[in-house]
Each structure stands twice: as structure tokens, then as C-alpha cells.
């Protein structure tokens, strides 16, 4: 019986020591970002910008609608050359609206990224500090399903796998 206990301890001790040395943790960065105080100001800025774009888009759509209505009312009495000119004008307005929507969307994304980047960097810095201070080997981010912190003590096993596969 004593031998069995000794054998169990002999196998369990290295596993316990290895577990103590290799600390793993996880966070949810989206949860943290939603709690950041800067978020409200950023969202207000984005919302205001979006409202400006939407007001301009409404004006463009009103112009488009009025041009179509005018064209439909007068098309029966219009000469063919004027019809073609009006159709071309309506097509140009449609194109301007499409381009405007694409530009607005790209600008909003760019502004959002510009405003959130410092906040994300602040969170990443805090995560790195927590990992270093508490001797974590890895910290996983549940929201992105990725490793967000990697200790300098971690081992890169790529060379061993390459060797095993006979790759250079």
C-alpha cells in the first residue's frame, strides 16, 4: 500500500509543479470595452456624425424623388432628347446617392476605429501588466477566441514540429 501511495505521489508531484508554473487565464475584452468610461463619449461622437450623414442623405433622396416625380408627370409631353437628358440626370443622382452611402459608411468606420484605438491599446496594456505581474503564461480572449497575452517564457514549438515533419 505504501508503494502505491509513493508511486502516485511520484507521478502527481511533477504534474502539480508543472501546473503551478504554467498559469493560464482568460478575459472577455468586449465586456471590458463596454465598461470603459470613454465609450459613451465615442458613441456620442459617432452618433452625431451618423446623424449628419443621414440628414444629407435625406436631402439627396428628396431631390431624387422630386426629379422622378417631375419626369413621370411630364414624360408624355417631353421631346425624346429632353427625356434622355432627364433619365441621365436621374441616373447621376442615383450614382451620387450610392457613392455618398459608401463614403459615409467608410468614414464612420474609420472614425470609429480612430476613436476606439487608444481605448483598445489601454485595455491591452492593462492585460499585459496583469499577465506580467501575476506570472501568467497565456491569457486568452473569449470574445475573439485568441491569445491576447503571451509571456516571454512561453515555448515556441514550431521548430520541433518542423523537425518532426522533416521540414527546414
Q: Which residues contact 135 (CB under 8 A, 6 or more apart)?
A: 23, 151
* pLDDT tens column, 114-168: 999 999 999 999 999 999 899 999 899 888 888 888 888 887 777 888 888 888 8
Domain extent listing, the chain: 24-165
* pLDDT tens column, 60-100: 999 999 999 999 998 888 899 999 999 999 999 999 999 99
Question: Does pLDDT of 26 surpass 70?
Answer: yes
Average pLDDT of the chain is 86
CA distance linking residue 54 with residue 61, whole number of Å: 10
Beta-carbon count within 10 A of 118 CB:
11
Query: Confidence class of residue 17 from pLDDT cuts 50, 70 and 90?
Result: very low
Pairs from 97-104 (Cβ < 8 Å, separation ≥ 24): 97/57, 97/60, 97/61, 97/64, 100/56, 100/57, 100/60, 101/57, 104/53, 104/57
Beta-carbon count within 10 A of 86 CB:
18
Question: Does pLDDT of 38 surpass 70?
Answer: yes
CB distance 135 to 155 below 8 Å: no
CB distance 104 to 10 below 8 Å: no
Name the grid cell of 70. Answer: 417631375
Amino acid at each position: 500500500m505504501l508503494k502505491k501511495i509513493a508511486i502516485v505521489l511520484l507521478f502527481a508531484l511533477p504534474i502539480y509543479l508543472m501546473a503551478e508554473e504554467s498559469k493560464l487565464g482568460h478575459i472577455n475584452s468586449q465586456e471590458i470595452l463596454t465598461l470603459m468610461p470613454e465609450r459613451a463619449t465615442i458613441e456620442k461622437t459617432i452618433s452625431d456624425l451618423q446623424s449628419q450623414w443621414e440628414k444629407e442623405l435625406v436631402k439627396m433622396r428628396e431631390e431624387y424623388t422630386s426629379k422622378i416625380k417631375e419626369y413621370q408627370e411630364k414624360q408624355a409631353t417631353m421631346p425624346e432628347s429632353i427625356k434622355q437628358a432627364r433619365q441621365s440626370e436621374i441616373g447621376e443622382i442615383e450614382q451620387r446617392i450610392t457613392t455618398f452611402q459608401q463614403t459615409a459608411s467608410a468614414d464612420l468606420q474609420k472614425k470609429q476605429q480612430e476613436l476606439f484605438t487608444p481605448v483598445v491599446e489601454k485595455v491591452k496594456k492593462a492585460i499585459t501588466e496583469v499577465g506580467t505581474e501575476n506570472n501568467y503564461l497565456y491569457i486568452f480572449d473569449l470574445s475573439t477566441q485568441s491569445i491576447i497575452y503571451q509571456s516571454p517564457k512561453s515555448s515556441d514549438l514550431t521548430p520541433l514540429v518542423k523537425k518532426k515533419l522533416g521540414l527546414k
